[in-house]
């Protein structure tokens, strides 16, 4: 695998952090919402963001 440039590495770290923020917000919204369908959607989206974050983190290894 090719080595990441410093700019690519910084961008990757930023995107990973942004995914973390999205996960936290979606989980917080899911805890507050009363509608079960909306709660399910928010939880699914949070898990999807978590999966994407983990996939991105694999590029740091």
Q: What distance in Å separates the CA atoms of residue 30 and residue 23, rounded to the nearest whole number?
A: 10
pLDDT, position 61: 80
Tens of pLDDT, residue by residue over 1-49, are 568 899 999 999 999 999 999 999 999 999 999 999 999 999 999 999 9
| Token reading at 32 | 């507050």
pLDDT, position 1: 52
Tens of pLDDT, residue by residue over 47-56, are 999 999 999 9
């Amino acid at each position: 695998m090719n080595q990441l440039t410093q700019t690519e590495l910084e961008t990757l770290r930023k995107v990973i952090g942004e995914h973390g923020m999205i996960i936290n917000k979606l989980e917080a919204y899911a805890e507050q919402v009363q509608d079960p369908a909306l709660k399910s959607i928010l939880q699914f989206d949070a898990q999807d963001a978590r999966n994407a974050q983990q996939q991105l983190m694999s590029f740091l290894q």
